[in-house]
Amino acid sequence: MHVMDMPLLSLLERLARLVHSESHAAGLKPVQWDILRFLAQANRFSRTPSGLTAYLGQTKGTVSQSLKALEDKGLVEKHPQPGDKRGVDVRLSTAGRAMLTQDPLAAFMGGLDGFGLEDRQTLEALLSRYLTGLLTARQGRMFGECRQCRFFQASASQGPYFCGLLKQALSEEDSRDRCVEFELIC
Amino acid sequence: MHVMDMPLLSLLERLARLVHSESHAAGLKPVQWDILRFLAQANRFSRTPSGLTAYLGQTKGTVSQSLKALEDKGLVEKHPQPGDKRGVDVRLSTAGRAMLTQDPLAAFMGGLDGFGLEDRQTLEALLSRYLTGLLTARQGRMFGECRQCRFFQASASQGPYFCGLLKQALSEEDSRDRCVEFELIC
DNA sequence: TTATATTGTTTCGAGTCGATACTAATTTAT
DNA sequence: ATAAATTAGTATCGACTCGAAACAATATAA
């Protein structure tokens, strides 16, 4: 049976292509937008070349190239990591943060025009469940919010929260960012 | 407000990236798979470089390049068009048709594993409505099935069906393919 | 019949992307 | 403590993407 005879796949293909083709705004490429968005949301354990590699599903070399392009444009800054001399802490520059206000993906809210609140929530919930199923099936990482992770703990002693996996204290801000190590509570 | 704070957009971005990164199978690129799928479904008025241009949302030059790459791989054949000496009729070769049995997009059915029939249909319906809203909002073409188009007519005189826009007789097969000229009945 | 529009190709330059090979820092095993 | 394995990241290569711009040929309209 042909892929395009399955309505869901047909929709998915079309949607993915639409996202891709609309993501050429402001002189940036689709991946570059993806990277900018990721960096705006990732916590300090995740905003590294390897975090991006896992998120984008690409090879290290490819990510390294894309980061160089963004660095040349002044949208991204590389800082040394406190603990590990190999690691690089990739951060959005002020210009990078400003660029995100022109994110072409924002236009995709327009598709919800005829939707009531309920339909909207249903679509989000189902899509979220679908994506979760997809990622667990192929062992992809979820990059969920730190505070919803199975390693997330309230800590009395060191800072407000604590990561049981990385053994690190977490600030209020940390807890709202997304993390490479995120695992579903189950 | 940041795009990634809107759950739907966040899901969409992730899904689109996932589709993109999984679409590197069998030595083909994502666009090349898109083109193969399109050609397998498009009717004779639509399987041209310009049809693809409209479908992919790219420029003519880009499409021309991609087609050349697919032609070199022997997956696609170019034929002259009967009526118009400028036009090119792009068709899947036998090898191209065979390639589609390895479509990496098929793996995306796996995300529906925990879904009941009802959830599945709801997701498809909402996604379809969303996509329609999106395309009409930005005047994108829908590439719907010929027989569901506002120009589609049953014809007593010439062949089983008739296209009121192109003034052409349509076979049973034609009527099930997708068309560039598709417009919603409304 | 002369504009004008449409269909498609070519060339250019920046960037994507996987593969491969490489360096340096860190961890693990001994 | 040190050798081996692992991990983080970079550099280079070749095929391809992609928009922009310039171009040719055919078709349509004034």
Q: Which helix (H) or strand (E) holds A9?
A: helix A7-22
Contact A57 B17 (CB under 8 A): yes
In terms of Cα–Cα distance, which of B181, B176, B159 is closest to B46? Answer: B181
Nearest nucleotide relative to A85: CA against C1': C25
Determine the CATH number of domain B3-113. Answer: 1.10.10.10
Residue B96's pLDDT band (cuts 50, 70, 90): very high
What is residue A183's predicted lDDT score, i.e. its pLDDT?
Answer: 78
The class (CATH top level) of A1-110 is mainly alpha
Distance CA B114, CA A160 (A): 36
Full DSSP string of A11-72: HHHHHHHHHHHH--GGG--HHHHHHHHHHHHB-TTT-SHHHHHHHHT--HHHHHHHHHHHHH
For residue range B36-82, list pLDDT tens digits in order: 999 999 998 899 999 999 999 999 999 999 999 999 999 999 999 98
What is residue A185's predicted lDDT score, i.e. its pLDDT?
Answer: 79
Write out chain B residues lying below 8 Å of A98, CB-based: none
Q: In angstroms, what CA-CA distances link B160 with B114, B146, B154, B174?
A: 42, 13, 6, 10
Could you tell me which residues come within 8 angstroms of residue B148 by beta carbon, excluding any fewer than 6 positions away?
A: B182, B185
Q: Minimal Cα distance from B143: which residue of A? A: A14
- Judge contact between A141 and A133, C-beta under 8 A: no
Could you tell me which residues come within 8 angstroms of residue A17 by beta carbon, excluding any fewer than 6 positions away?
A: B34, B55, B56, B57
Span B110-120, average pLDDT: 93
Tokens of B40: 């397998």
Span A49-53, average pLDDT: 95
Distance CA B128, CA A10 (A): 10
Beta bridge partners of B152: B163
Distance CA A159, CA A168 (A): 10
In terms of Cα–Cα distance, which of A27, A31, A40, A80 is closest to A59? Answer: A31
- Judge contact between A169 and A45, C-beta under 8 A: no
Write out chain A residues lying below 8 Å of B15, CB-based: 12, 15-16, 127, 131
Distance CA A12, CA A123 (A): 14
Per-domain boundaries in chain A: 1-110, 114-141, 144-186
Instruction: Round and report the angstrom distance from CA (B159) to C1' (C16).
Output: 48
For residue range B75-93, list pLDDT tens digits in order: 999 999 988 999 999 999 9
What is the nearest CA distance from B137 to chain A, expressed in angstroms? Answer: 7
For residue range A63-94, list pLDDT tens digits in order: 999 999 999 999 999 999 988 999 999 999 99
